[in-house]
Amino acid sequence: MLRSHSAYVRYVYAQDHLEKLREQLRLEERLDNFELESLPDDERKKTIRCKKPLPVSLSLTLGDFIHSLRSSLDYVTCALVALSNPDADLKRVQFPFGRKGVRLNRDDRGSVKGISEEALEAIERARAQYGEGLSLLCDFSNQDKHRFLMPAYSHLVSCKFAVDTRTPNSTTMSVQPLGRPEELAPLRDGDIVDFSDGCLKTVKIGFQLEAGGVSYRSESIDLINEAVRQTLNELLPLTQSLKPTQGYTPRNS
């Protein structure tokens, strides 16, 4: 199997993990997993009760997804180096993430020694355009691979009703996040939820980098996935392979 085709296959495999992770998130974010208890002295506040802890399988599936995405980038990078130098030692070759917003320095380029200038510039274009998602991929992967699982946790999101479709006879609406910045504080059993702002609230699941450190919404996985998809679309044509995502469409749940 060609290295470039391996990169495509690995990306497609990651989509299976992504589909599984989305379904796990959907089930764990169901509101019937939680209960609200009224406070006798303040009707605007409620005590939330979590009926069960979040399963560790969320972190395991996320790790499998992240590993496959990073592997797909490493595979295509090896293919590009080998294309320029068929005798190259690929043991230390990997996709050069570098620092977000900064071009690769000499040390960074050491992981792609022997790669063509055309391929290196394609990597720089992808890093410039999709740097946020690629940087998250690197951070998520480093924690999952070297230190410990990325903890999943519940947090609250303020929501509003939004019109999805409107016809002369009917209107379809859904609950959508407000989109304003919110603290992604972990939601624990027995916490007090304040509804005095009049907003709807729902429970979502996020992931944490380092214990008690930076928290990310579950939507971050889509940002990472899209960054890898677009980066492969930049790099795979240079190996004379097929683009990976004209269209892989995850199966409906």
pLDDT (tens digit per residue) in 104-155: 999 999 999 999 999 999 999 999 999 999 999 999 999 888 788 888 889 8
Given a contact cutoff of 8 angstroms between Cβ atoms, the answer to whether 43 and 194 are in contact is no
The whole-angstrom separation of Cα 2 and Cα 10 is 12
Decide if 247 is inside a domain: no
**What pTM does this model have?**
0.83
Give the tokens for residue 49.
């009760």
Residue 249 lies in a domain: no
pLDDT, tens digit, for every residue of 34-77? 999 988 888 888 899 999 999 999 999 999 999 999 999 999 99
User: What's the confidence (pLDDT) of residue 59?
Assistant: 94
Distance of CA 240 to the CA centre of its chain: 28
Give the mean pLDDT of the chain. 86
Q: Is residue 253 part of a domain?
A: no
59 lies in some domain: yes
In terms of Cβ atoms closer than 10 Å to its own Cβ (0-12, 13-18, 19+), residue 38 is exposed
| Number of independent structural domains in the chain | 1
Does residue 77 lie within any of the structural domains? yes
Q: 233-247 burial by CB neighbour count: b if 16+ within 10 A, else e?
A: ebbbebbebeebbee
- The per-residue DSSP string of 132-200 comes to HHHHHHHHHHHIIIII----EEEEEEEEEEEEEEE-SS-EEEEEEE--S----PPP-TT-EEE-TT--E
Asked, for residue 201, whether it belongs to a domain, the answer is yes
Inside any domain, residue 160: yes
Do the bridges between strand 214-217 and strand 200-209 make them parallel or antiparallel, or are there none, so unpaired?
antiparallel
* Structure confidence at residue 244 (pLDDT): 46
pLDDT at 225: 97
- Residue 252 forms part of a structural domain: no
Beta bridge partners of 160: 176
Domain range for residue 197?
Answer: 3-239
